[in-house]
Amino acid sequence: MSGYAHPEVLVDTAWVAERLDDPRVRLVESDEDILLYETGHIPGAVRIDWVNDLNDPVTRDYLDRERFERLLSAKGISNDTTVVFYGDKNNWWAAYAFWVFKLFGHQDARIMDGGRAKWIAESRPLTKERPSYPAATYRAPERNDVYIRAFRDQVLAQITKDDAALVDVRSPQEYTGERTHMPEYPQEGTVRGGHIPGAMNIPWARAVNDDATFKSRAELEQLYAENGITPDKDVITYCRIGERSSHTWFVLTYLLGFPSVRNYDGSWTEWGNMVGMPIVKPYQG
């Protein structure tokens, strides 16, 4: 991991196994399958549900500062806790939870390379027992939506900038407009298919190996550079609802050290449903 721009944000399974009883470390499991945690999780890990814990149920936005403070306090997380995220699907939702934590400025946030898949492949222990921790005191600043989050009008402006780049991390079928969601999922959530003008299609999972660990820095640099995504550009990533693109945001920001990367969490669900917004739809079937 020493080759990455910020190797400190990644830990391996051995590192985690050695710290299962460390009170300074809190493991957080965040999965696409919200029932997966109950079937077995790393001992001591708490669950953060991306639907009920991280999102506001009314405003189509994230939880506010007060709710974030209550959530972390209830999980036994304080401001100086080392929070290590892991999950299913190549750490897809773990990266999303990591991104939300960074919106509130949590300092020591990391991801377990390889996620659930690697932990289980190595026959490491799982438990169905829910941990219980004393409530902590957590104080967060107001959510910072400026530096790592992009909004609709900023994306629209991005289309015409020479020093900017858009990365569409969805599947090729979503990018062309053949589908409105990944092939194995219900086709829902948007009226129109296609992609934002000027966006390059680099599916998010191309950044990981077969064992769910991240590819080397050299491999990642080649993947993005050959598509014109370089560190001198202001980059915005997007997908359907902002979760897959948070994974690519993590790769570009922490593994490759790009200085300006934002995640457009409104993504195609917002863009594809708006009246009058420009799209490209190569697929006409």
**Is the pLDDT reported for residue 189 higher than 80?**
no
Tell me what pLDDT residue 1 has.
Answer: 67
pLDDT in tens, 203-242: 999 999 999 999 999 999 999 999 999 999 999 999 999 9
pTM of the model: 0.96
Q: What value does the mean pLDDT take over residues 98-123?
A: 98
Q: Specify whether domain 149-271 bears CATH 3.40.1710.10.
A: no
**Distance from C-alpha of 47 to C-alpha of 36, rounded to nearest angstrom:** 10
Q: What value does the mean pLDDT take over residues 54-82?
A: 95
Q: What value does the mean pLDDT take over residues 87-100?
A: 97
Known catalytic residue at 209: no
Beta-carbon count within 10 A of 121 CB:
12
pLDDT in tens, 157-188: 999 998 999 999 999 999 999 988 877 777 77
Q: What value does the mean pLDDT take over residues 25-42?
A: 96
Q: Are 92 and 43 in contact (CB under 8 A)?
A: no
Tell me what pLDDT residue 83 has.
Answer: 98
**Is the pLDDT reported for residue 193 higher than 90?**
yes
Q: What value does the mean pLDDT take over residues 249-265?
A: 98
Q: What value does the mean pLDDT take over residues 24-37?
A: 95
pLDDT tier for residue 190 given thresholds of 50, 70 and 90:
confident
Q: Which of 83, 97, 239, 241 is catalytic?
A: 239
Domain range 7-121, its CATH number among 3.40.250.10, 3.40.50.2300, 3.10.105.10, 3.40.50.720: 3.40.250.10
Domain ranges of the chain: 7-121, 149-271
245 three-state secondary structure: helix
Give the sign of the dihedral formed by CA 117, CA 121, CA 126, CA 128: positive
